[in-house]
Amino acid sequence: MLETLHEASLKQLSDELTEQGMFCKGFAFFLPSRSTPLMLYRTMTMNNKLLALAALAVTASGAHAQVACVYDPVGSAGDSYAVMKDYALASKAWGANITLKPYTDERVAAEDFKAGQCDLVSITGMRGRQFNAFTGSIDALGGLPSNELAQSVMNILAKPQLAADMVNGDYEVAGVVPLGSAFLFVNDRSINTLAKAAGKKIAVLDYDKAQAKMVQKVGAQPVSADVTTFGGKFNNGQVDIIAAPAIVFKPLELYKGLGTKGAIARFPIAQISGNVIIHKAKFPAGYGQKSREWVASQLPRAISLIKKNEAAIPAKYWMDIPANDQVGYVKLMRDSRVELTKEGIYNPKMMKLLKKIRCQANSASFECALNDE
């Protein structure tokens, strides 16, 4: 509406100026793009109305600017925010003019996006599932056992052939990046089997139904939390176990919860992803595909950062899981995925894609002969 009013005002003023002989064939007025300054190619005497015309044009061009709500646990000083700065700069070539707004509370960022206060939001895939179930299912329990397989899937998602799956009404996923493997953090390294996890308190994200169901399957007690509280609950002893990627180890000071007896199980239970999601109508046609291709070009950088964060965790905290026990965990997570897909929590098309990637990497796996996922 604002843009239409500007156009109407511009037309009215230009008509009046033409009547007064103030426009001629030698004068051209350009309505600037999002990043292009007002251009005039002939200097001439201007009256107040002509100045008003120029002012309206500048204001109109400003209406095209987009606001990006960026979630990062440490705000504008974080790694995710730094990547989004590069994204905002690159997006100028695709016709955008993005201003970044940092958030340390992911829930608020997502709500502001839904309310239209942001044109773009950068959040985790689990939180983003409400906007797109296909990409939001990448984080499925046991769906991707390594960072490298996550990179393979995310490269596929940038292909034009999957562009339709990126759109859900006005929402469009404009990029998916890996944030790293989620590992189990325990406050006592004696909790090294599923049987020993029974009865323990495990933090689960209150907006992800899959986590609570999985915890209940192993006989543990789910404790509702959010990305802003789960770290504190672990550090304060309110829960015994959490799942988290290495990227949050230092920002959330999880070493406090580990203490001298705790450990991190070196067995990924999920891949945490980051989503760039836009209000499609707020961006130029074709923007989403260009954005996804640029984000895919940054995947090696993201994987490098993940490995750096994992390597930065002191060796004393890591705990290896026996190979025989790992098989049981894989089967448990697979059964949970099948059940959660039937319940509509996970997207079936994404589950098929993830299985295809897993079996390409390990064709000898028992699941490759099964057809229920």
Provide DSSP, 17-30: HHHTT---TT--EE
Give the separation between CA 292 and CA 173, rounded to whole angstroms: 8
Structural domain spans, the chain: 2-58, 66-180+272-314+348-363
Q: What is the pLDDT, as a whole number, of residue 64?
A: 65
Q: What is the pLDDT, as a whole number, of residue 217?
A: 87
More reliable by pLDDT, 3 or 99: 99
Give the separation between CA 23 and CA 36, rounded to whole angstroms: 22
Give the separation between CA 3 and CA 295, rounded to whole angstroms: 30
Give the separation between CA 173 and CA 64, rounded to whole angstroms: 20
Q: What's the pLDDT tens digit per position in 262-304?
A: 999 999 999 999 999 999 999 999 999 999 999 999 999 999 9
**Strand 39-40 relative to strand 221-225, pairing:** unpaired
Give the separation between CA 177 and CA 276, rounded to whole angstroms: 8
- Closest Cα to residue 240, out of 262, 256, 224? 262
- Closest Cα to residue 10, out of 52, 43, 63, 70? 52
Q: What's the pLDDT tens digit per position in 271-280?
A: 999 999 999 9
Residues 274/123, Cβ–Cβ less than 8 Å: yes
pLDDT tops 60 at residue 347: yes
- Closest Cα to residue 237, out of 204, 217, 212, 262? 262
Backbone angles phi, psi at 175, to 5 degrees: 165, 145
Q: Which CATH class is domain 66-180+272-314+348-363?
A: alpha beta
* pLDDT-wise least confident of 48-62, 138-152, 185-199, 203-217: 48-62
Torsion over CA of 252, 254, 256 and 260, rounded to 10 degrees? Answer: -170
Q: 3-class SS at 278?
A: strand
Residues 6+ apart with CB under 8 A from 351: 137, 140, 143, 337, 341, 373
Mean pLDDT score, 315-332: 92
Mean pLDDT score, 114-126: 97
pLDDT tops 70 at residue 233: yes
Residues 358/144, Cβ–Cβ less than 8 Å: yes
DSSP code, position 316: G
pTM: 0.80
Residues 6+ apart with CB under 8 A from 289: 160, 163
- Closest Cα to residue 124, out of 324, 308, 276? 276
